[in-house]
């Protein structure tokens, strides 16, 4: 069982690195840095973290092929491997449609694109001389690194929909399930298993990670307050099929979306109710988080990632999780 | 007085909580408040669990004096380090 932490590099590099060192000290296994054009660069963040840590594994969580060509992602993770040998992970996904729209990048054929991206990253890391002929990408023979990559870099496919989850099961070293509710995660694991079996693999061959919206604090009230803004964005961005699963009305979602778009934060966040928080986050006191994580792990997950916002106070949340939650699960394994 | 000399004045018993308090404030400080060279030194000592050492404190105090001088004065007050605060009087005449 592994435990990871996600950071959105909105803060200065040294602060994200400080928290990553803290996570390493407390026994977290992985640190994931998000990749959005409007935040600090993911690989500069990771390089900084690599320089000040010794054992924690790290990677983009996730980058996407629409803004960064797969050969450049391969180059970045291969280079990072020189700074943190054997500790690099690579999370790849289709990206966030809203962010892509802003910069005019079209999310076309996402499953095919991510599949080819994984194949290209692997061939680049292996320094294959042969060309690559895909339906999305074409790489001429001889397009290879002029340096050697000594370590295996596991590739994790970030996924939410059934086809992408199956792809993760079919070709990923790992899967990053973008969900927080045990029922959602159970459905996702079933899809990953199907993808794996269709490809002649077993679920055990894949590191299945629940990549959750997470918040922990001394009290449930504080933890929930911190998670509300993130849940508001999740509700606003969720398709009606997902909302209906949790009994959340499309009207409520549209109302939140409209208020967020018009920057009416009080109205948007005020419309987030307990059902939404329960559906789209893991949050509460340390004891409550232990119970929720325990339920999630029983759904076939081998890696639990605490994603944004982590809690009302980042340093305190990392300490609470590292001291009061994580050890209980590490003892079991 | 140099920051290293000031760090020496902090009683050993107080060093760890004092370093923790300064770190919390620096983590809350605004963009660009902590000079990058000091941020890297702080990370170096944090990785080695030595922010509470004399050397670690020297750099934390220097970073605070640069990024959050008023709050450093408050923390010195909290920890009843009035002598140390006095050593900073050229900076904080207003507070003391």
How much is the ipTM here?
Answer: 0.91
Question: A94 vs chain B: nearest CA distance in angstroms?
Answer: 31
pLDDT at B91 exceeding the cut of 70? no
Query: Mean pLDDT in chain B?
Result: 87
B→A contacts (Cβ < 8 Å), by residue, are 23-24, 27, 31-32, 34, 36, 39-40, 42-44, 46-47, 49
Could you tell me how many CB contacts below 8 A there are between chain A and chain B? 31
- Percent share of chain A, pLDDT over 70: 100
Of A22, A53, A315, the CB nearest to B24: A315
Angle between helices B54-67 and B12-28 (to 10 degrees): 40
Picking from A300, A153, A278, A179, the residue whose alpha carbon sits closest to that of residue A228 is: A278
What pLDDT is stored for residue A314 in this prediction? 97
Name the average pLDDT for chain A: 96
Hey, are the CB atoms on A21 and B44 less than 8 Å from each other? no
Residues in A closer than 8 angstroms to B40, CB to CB, are: 14
User: SS3 of B38, please?
Assistant: helix
- pLDDT score for B95: 40
- For residue A237, which of A275, A276, A265 has the smallest C-alpha distance? A276
Cβ contact (<8 Å) for A52 and B47? yes
pLDDT tens for residues A254-289? 999 999 989 999 999 999 999 999 999 999 999 999
**Contact between B34 and A315 using a beta-carbon 8 Å cutoff:** no
Q: Is the pLDDT of residue B96 over 70?
A: no
**Banded pLDDT at A131 (limits 50, 70, 90):** very high
pLDDT given at position A293: 98
Q: Do A21 and B43 touch (CB under 8 A)?
A: yes
- pLDDT of B94 reads 43
Closest residue to B34, CB basis, from A14, A17, A53: A14
Position A328 scores a pLDDT of 96
Percentage helix, strand, coil for chain B under 3-state DSSP, each rounded to 5: 70, 0, 30
Nearest to A275 by CA among A239, A224, A217, A216: A224
Mean pLDDT in residue range A218-245: 93
Lowest mean pLDDT among A118-122, A173-177, A320-324, B31-35: B31-35
């Amino acid at each position: 069982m592994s435990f990871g932490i996600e950071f959105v590099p909105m803060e200065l590099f040294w602060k994200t690195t400080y928290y990553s060192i803290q996570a390493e000290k407390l026994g977290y296994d992985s640190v994931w840095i998000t990749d959005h054009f409007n935040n600090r660069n993911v690989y500069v963040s990771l390089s900084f973290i690599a320089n000040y840590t010794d054992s924690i594994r790290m990677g983009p969580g996730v980058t996407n092929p629409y803004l960064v060509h797969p050969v450049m992602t391969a180059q970045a993770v291969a280079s990072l491997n020189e700074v943190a040998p054997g500790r690099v992970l690579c999370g790849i996904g289709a990206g966030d449609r809203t962010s892509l729209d802003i910069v005019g990048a079209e999310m076309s054929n996402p499953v095919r694109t991510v599949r080819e991206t994984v194949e290209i990253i692997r061939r680049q890391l292996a320094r294959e001389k042969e060309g690559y002929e895909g339906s999305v990408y074409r790489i001429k023979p001889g397009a290879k690194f002029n340096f050697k990559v000594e370590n295996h870099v596991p590739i994790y496919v970030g996924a939410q929909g059934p086809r992408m989850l199956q792809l993760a099961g079919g070709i990923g070293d790992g899967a990053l399930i973008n969900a927080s509710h045990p029922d959602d995660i159970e459905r996702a694991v079933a899809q990953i298993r199907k993808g794996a079996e269709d490809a002649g693999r077993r679920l055990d061959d894949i590191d299945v990670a629940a990549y959750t919206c997470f918040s922990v604090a001394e009290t449930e009230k504080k933890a929930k307050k911190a998670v509300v803004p993130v849940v508001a964005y999740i509700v606003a961005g969720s398709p009606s099929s997902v909302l209906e699963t949790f009994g959340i009305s499309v009207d409520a979602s549209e109302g939140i979306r409209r208020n967020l778009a018009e920057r009416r934060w009080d109205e948007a966040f005020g419309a987030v109710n307990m059902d939404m928080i329960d559906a789209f986050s893991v949050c509460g006191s340390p004891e409550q988080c232990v119970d929720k994580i325990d339920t999630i792990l029983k759904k076939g997950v081998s890696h639990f990632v605490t994603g944004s916002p982590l809690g009302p106070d980042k340093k305190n949340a990392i300490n609470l999780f590292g001291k009061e939650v994580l050890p209980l699960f590490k003892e079991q394994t | 007085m140099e920051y290293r000399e000031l760090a020496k004045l902090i009683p050993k018993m107080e060093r760890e909580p004092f370093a923790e308090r300064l770190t919390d404030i620096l983590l809350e400080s605004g963009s660009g408040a902590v000079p990058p060279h000091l941020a890297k030194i702080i990370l170096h000592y944090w990785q080695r669990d030595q922010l509470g050492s004399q050397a670690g404190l020297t750099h934390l105090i220097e970073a605070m004096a640069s990024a959050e001088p008023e709050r450093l004065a408050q923390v010195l007050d909290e920890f009843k380090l009035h002598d140390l605060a006095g050593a900073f009087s050229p900076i904080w005449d207003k507070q003391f």
